[in-house]
Amino acid sequence: MARVCAGETALFALLMRRHNARIYRVARAILRRDDEAEDVMQDAYVRAYEHLDSFRGEARFSTWLTRIAVHEALARTRRARRFAPLDGHQQESNVMSSERTSRPDQQLLERELGELLDRAIDGLPEEFRLVFVLRVIEDLSVADTAETLGLPEQTVKTRLFRARERLKRELVAHFDAQPEAAYAFHLTRCDRVVRAVMNELAHRTDTSEA
C-alpha cells in the first residue's frame, strides 16, 4: 500500500490479484450476472485506487475494499431497478425456477455442482445472499462481516441462519459437499479484470500529466 501510494502503480495489480476472488463473489452475489460483476470490480478498484490516501488503517484493507465493492454493486442495482420493466425480475425468477425443477439432483454430474450452487445462492434474497457469501464462501468472521456490511453482529447471525435453512431445502447434501465451487473465480477472469483496471489507471495518469 505504501509503495503504491509512493508511485509504484504496477504493484496495485498484486493487491487486486490478492482480493479478486472475494470482490468478484461479493459483486456477483448482489448483481447475479458475471459481466456486471466484472464491471463493478473494475469500478471499485479504480475508486479504491483514487482514494488510497483516505485509507486510515482503522479497518483491514480487504474490509475497506469489500465495502467499496458492495456500495458500487448496490448503486448499480438501484439504478437498474429505476429503469427495468416491472415484470423483468419475475420473468427471470420463472426461468431460474424452471431450470431448477427440470434438472433433478440425482442426475447432476459433479462438474455441474458449481452451476447448481450459483443458481441456489442467486435465489436467496439479497440481504441473505450477501451474508452467506461473506460468511460461508469467503469464510469471514461474524465481526468482519458485520463491519463490512455495516450490520449488527446479531443480524449477521440471523441472516446466515435463514440463508442456510433456505439452501438446505434446495440442495440438501450437495451444498455441504463443496461450497467453495460457488462463484468460481477463474484465472482468465482475474487476468481480464487486472488488465482492464491497470489500463484505465495508466490512461488516467497520462491524462493528468498532459
Give the predicted TM-score (pTM) of the model: 0.67
pLDDT in tens, 51-91: 988 887 777 888 999 999 999 998 888 776 665 554 444 44
The residues spanned by each domain of the chain are: 2-209
Which of the two residues, 120 and 181, has the higher pLDDT score? 120
Q: What is the pLDDT confidence band of residue 6, given thresholds at 50, 70 and 90?
A: confident
User: Cα–Cα distance between 94 and 34 in angstroms, integer?
Assistant: 20
The rounded mean pLDDT for the chain is 79
* Cell 451444498 belongs to residue: 175
Provide CB contacts within 8 A for 83, sequence distance 6+: none
Residue 190 · residue 23 · CB < 8 Å: no
- Find the mean pLDDT for residues 103-129: 69
pLDDT digits (tens, 9 = 90+) for 14-44: 999 999 999 999 999 888 888 899 999 999 9
